[in-house]
Structure 1
Amino acid sequence: MDKTLNFAHRGFSGEYPENTMIAFLKACDNGCDGIETDVQFTKDHVAVLCHDETLNRTTTGTGYIKDYTFKELYNLDAGIKFNNKFKNEKIPTLEQLLQLSKDKGIMLNLELKNTEIPYDGLEEHVINLVYKYNMQNKVILSSFNHYSMIKVKNIDSSIKTGLLYEADLYEPQEYCLKVGADCVHPQYFSVLKEDIVKKLKKNNLSINTYTVNNEDHMKRLISLNIDIIITNHPNILNKLLSKI
């Protein structure tokens, strides 16, 4: 990539309820190049967007997403716990976001939430939806489950994959190439080091780092030519990038 891109973490989650359509729309309004979100399966195999495997933190529901049908999920409120003014926001489907992204011309980073719960068939289902909306060239699939990313490549080698991790990996470029991924998705502290960035770039690996909310860290990562910065505050990052 020629310039650092601005991806909104769970939408504009700094000011709106995370992983809701209003958060995605407001991210677009505030200059994001893409949206990062989390994909899970309902009981009836509808791909929906929610970070936690359980509903307790962000919705009026309790228990696991996997134990609810989509119709049951739709009866829950996904906005009111953030602020009363967002009452009646719903858990969106992946198809809703794919349509929005297609209309707005933005990219997507879809994190498959299949580490705690190994949703059977999630990879193939998501890939099929991506093709349905002709978004295959504007989507990155990522996960902390690196076996899942190998599975994605086995299904369709042209789909870009990113390896999520928190640790300071030793020689991350070697591991990434071994797994056959296109991108690293590290916790940002591990790529504030110029030597690590150079090694990754030398091997044509994109560096897409999360979750960067401090302006000084944003500036440092921009100076290192990080490919994608994932942030809760796309408005702040947009202002910094516009000055370049």
Structure 2
Amino acid sequence: MVFIAHRGLKKDAVENTKKAFMAAALSDEYDAIECDIHMTKDRLFVVHHDDTLKRIYNLDVKIKDESFDTLDKMLGGDLISLQEFLTICKTHNKKAIIEVKQVFELEDLMTLLDTINLFENLRYAIISFNLTYLKYLRVLSEAELHLLAGELTEPLFEEAKRFNLNLALHYQYVDMYVVHKAHRAGLKVNVWTLKNLDDIEKMQKLEVDYITKD
């Protein structure tokens, strides 16, 4: 069972920042670290959850409308690139869990794979709510892919089986039936996002494969 640090460790750091990722990298509690990526105007992958800087930095700026350098200056050097995140994971032997939020074109996903492949022997998985992204990635690669969803519906399950996509589901919708169904199909189950010990212990008893937690 793999424990994933959701957007890094955020107790003493801002989510999706170098400080949060380093805290997770130095923790024995986690084997993997999750991040979220968007593309900048100059088509570079940056780590940030939202499509704007409003919630975290109180700036009405859309990531896709600005270059990496412009965004980095706005944040005083606090912006982290995908390469920097992968370097942290590789250096500290943590599995990188990369959630793709937005790209301009499907071909940009080739750039994502090329970037990841620069890091030899890196353990990683790509996850997304966007089924189209995952289907395209599956054509390009045999990489570990996770389909994010709240509740598992039968149409989603059929697509997951067809394209060999592991299931990343909201823990409240995961029970023994869902886990057994996935495992019988050869798919792993990743549950998100857990915050208390009772829920974590419940998921452990169900023998899920990944637990994403704050």
TM range (shorter): over 0.9
Are the equivalent residues in 1 in contact too, given 2:26–2:92 (CA < 8 A)?
no
Are the equivalent residues in 1 in contact too, given 2:146–2:167 (CA < 8 A)?
yes
Tell me, in whole angstroms, the C-alpha distance in 1 between the residues paired with 2:97 and 2:166.
11
Are the equivalent residues in 2 in contact too, given 1:60–1:76 (CA < 8 A)?
no
Deviation at 1:14, TM superposition (A): 4.1
Aligned with 1:169 (options 153, 172, 178): 153
- Are residues 1:211 and 2:193 paired? yes
The letter of the residue matching 2:116 is V
Change (3 A) 1:190 1:162: same
Alignment coverage as a number of residue pairs: 212
Which residue of structure 2 aligns with residue 240 of structure 1? none
Are the equivalent residues in 2 in contact too, given 1:11–1:24 (CA < 8 A)?
yes
Are the equivalent residues in 2 in contact too, given 1:110–1:139 (CA < 8 A)?
yes
Change (3 A) 1:188 1:131: same
2:3 alignment partner, SS class: strand
Percent identity between the aligned chains? 24
1:133-172 pair list within 5 angstroms:
133-135=119-121, 138-156=123-141, 158-170=142-154
Query: Could you list the per-position Cα deviations for residues 66-97 of structure 1 after superposition, in whole angstroms to 9, with x for gaps in the alignment?
Result: 111111111123xxxxxxxxxx5612000001
1:20-31 pair list within 5 angstroms:
20-31=17-28
Tell me, in whole angstroms, the C-alpha distance in 1 between the residues paired with 2:108 and 2:100.
8
Aligned with 1:75 (options 55, 73, 76): 73
| CA root-mean-square deviation | 1.7
Are the equivalent residues in 2 in contact too, given 1:172–1:200 (CA < 8 A)?
no
Are the equivalent residues in 1 in contact too, given 2:25–2:88 (CA < 8 A)?
no
- Are residues 1:123 and 2:109 paired? yes
Change (3 A) 1:22 1:160: same
Change (3 A) 1:149 1:168: closer
Query: Could you list the per-position Cα deviations for residues 140-198 of structure 1 after superposition, in whole angstroms to 9, with x for gaps in the alignment?
Result: 11111101100001112x111110011342375433112x033101111111x111111
Q: Which has the higher contact order (CA 8 A, sep 6+)?
A: 1
Aligned with 1:194 (options 176, 193, 210): 176
Change (3 A) 1:215 1:15: farther
The letter of the residue matching 2:110 is E
Deviation at 1:122, TM superposition (A): 2.9
Which residue of structure 2 aligns with residue 63 of structure 1? 61
Which residue of structure 1 aligns with residue 34 of structure 2? 36
Which residue of structure 2 aligns with residue 181 of structure 1? 164
